[in-house]
Amino acid sequence: MKNEVEHKKIEYKTQEEILIRGTEAIGKTVRQIDKYSRVDSDGIKGSIGHVVEESLYGYKINSDAEPDFPEAGVELKVSGVIRDKNGYKAKERLVLNIINYMKEAYTTFETSSFWHKNQVLMMLFYEYVRGHKPGDFVFLKAILFRYPEEDLAIIKDDWKKIVEKIRAGKAHELSEGDTFYLGACTKGATAESSLREQPFSDIPAKQRAYCLKNKYMTHLVRTYVFGEAQNEHIIKSVSELAGKSFESYVTAKLQEYKGKSVEELKQIFDVKSDAKNLGALLAYKILGIKGNKAAELENAGVAVKTIRIQYNGKIKECMSFPPFKFREVAEETWEDAEFANTLRDTRFLFIVYRFDKEGVLRFMGGQFWNMPYNDIEGHVKKVWERTKEVLNSGRLTVAIRNNRMMNNLPAQKDDSVSHVRPHGATRLGTTNLLPKGTKVNIESSDGSFVWPYEDRFPTQCFWLNNSYILSQLNEEFKR
């Protein structure tokens, strides 16, 4: 029958043969290469990857520990790209093999399942177009990908961090924010059946797979597929690492200028600007970057945040995140909550300054950080749940007291980690739609205040509390 795969596997013994076969799909749609009626009017039975495996390369879908082409040592991967005003970018992370916690904890990088299966990737890219049917997506490029030496050095460190967490009995606390390029992403994470045992703890852990993170995939697409120029590198040669991790190299480099005032740093690096991002710009200069983008940080999606500690040891500013839409928060689940996933996936680089007793702002150094699992699943979850509850219950209340407008969304006093309030730019003029059925209740002492919108409310943001950020900084920055 046409829709039954003929399991007469074609043998590909060399990498060249595999690449040549992949290039035969270029310029064709998914429907055009489909031999087994995977593509129908509603979409695709399975995935585009399944179509490529069966129809282009002629082998049965499997989840073997071996690479798809064992004799050539090549794993096949199919990935989407999206075209925007800046060119092409990756549609999503690239999911690799499932992590077997019980086995992976006892391997080295060279004997790991990741390295055994994914040393060389045969990557076939198609263009994803919103609103088009998957069968109409067109294949654009085919490449054999081997990790460049400078990327592999960071990937090895990433693998080590993942496995160290497993060995510490904390597989249940793994997060993509732990690492730079290679992540441990959830796979089937909402199903009970996806929970897996781990070797050094009785706590079940979500099933996870190794993945190349979204920002790294965009870097791969732009650099190695479409040949775009890269941003400046912090690491000019892998030999500079000399056994150090990328993270420790960066923080040590920044530490060399500890105690320098902002004005001294401006003179040293001939910086004339007093722009809002001056603190970060000076840190880039210390790291040998002329502009305001470093390849390794961009490729890893690292968020660079400048923090200023007052002389009294406190921080004035809380950390804001992009405005959210009320209707989206009202409908999303915790597992797919945008704010939660931002914190789960993002690694931050804190660039820390401190005012001395004369009021001079001095550079203290840098610290990589991602939010601890327990803080996300505890405090942040409660704030998100409270926000969703207020929006969905129809109990959004505005109280007018002493000519000040306050609402009952989670405030800074309500939680030690995060809260909800407008950003400066959205405080007055910007509003967005409330969930259907939600009305604004007014509490006004004299009853004179009238809410001007029927179904809208000033746009809000999630924030991390300034006291919480301070608690997460290295002690050396606080002294």
Query: Which domains can be identified in the chain, with CATH numbers?
Result: 15-225 (3.40.600.10), 238-369 (3.40.600.10), 376-464 (no CATH)
Asked whether the beta carbons of 254 and 366 are under 8 A apart, the reply is: yes
Beta bridge partners, 461, equal 421
The predicted structure's pLDDT at residue 7: 47
Per residue in 409-427, pLDDT tens? Answer: 999 999 999 999 998 654 4
Determine which helix (DSSP H) or strand (DSSP E) holds 457, and give its type and residue range. Answer: strand 456-458
Q: Please state, in angstroms and rounded to a whole number, the distance separating the CA atoms of residues 434 and 380.
A: 22
* Predicted TM-score (pTM) of this structure: 0.92
Q: Which residues contact 478 (CB under 8 A, 6 or more apart)?
A: 309, 313, 470
pLDDT of 83 above 90? yes
User: For the chain, how long is the longest CA-to-CA vector?
Assistant: 83
The predicted structure's pLDDT at residue 395: 83
Per residue in 354-407, pLDDT tens? Answer: 999 999 999 999 999 999 999 999 999 999 999 999 999 888 998 887 777 889
Q: Please state, in angstroms and rounded to a whole number, the distance separating the CA atoms of residues 166 and 344.
A: 17
Tokens 């990498």 label which residue? 15
- Give the model's confidence band at 177: pLDDT under 50 very low, under 70 low, under 90 confident, else very high: very high
Average pLDDT, the chain: 92
Dihedral sign for Cα atoms in the order 124, 125, 126, 130: positive
Q: Where are the beta strands (DSSP E) in 103-216?
A: 120-127, 138-146, 182-186, 195-198, 201-206, 208-212
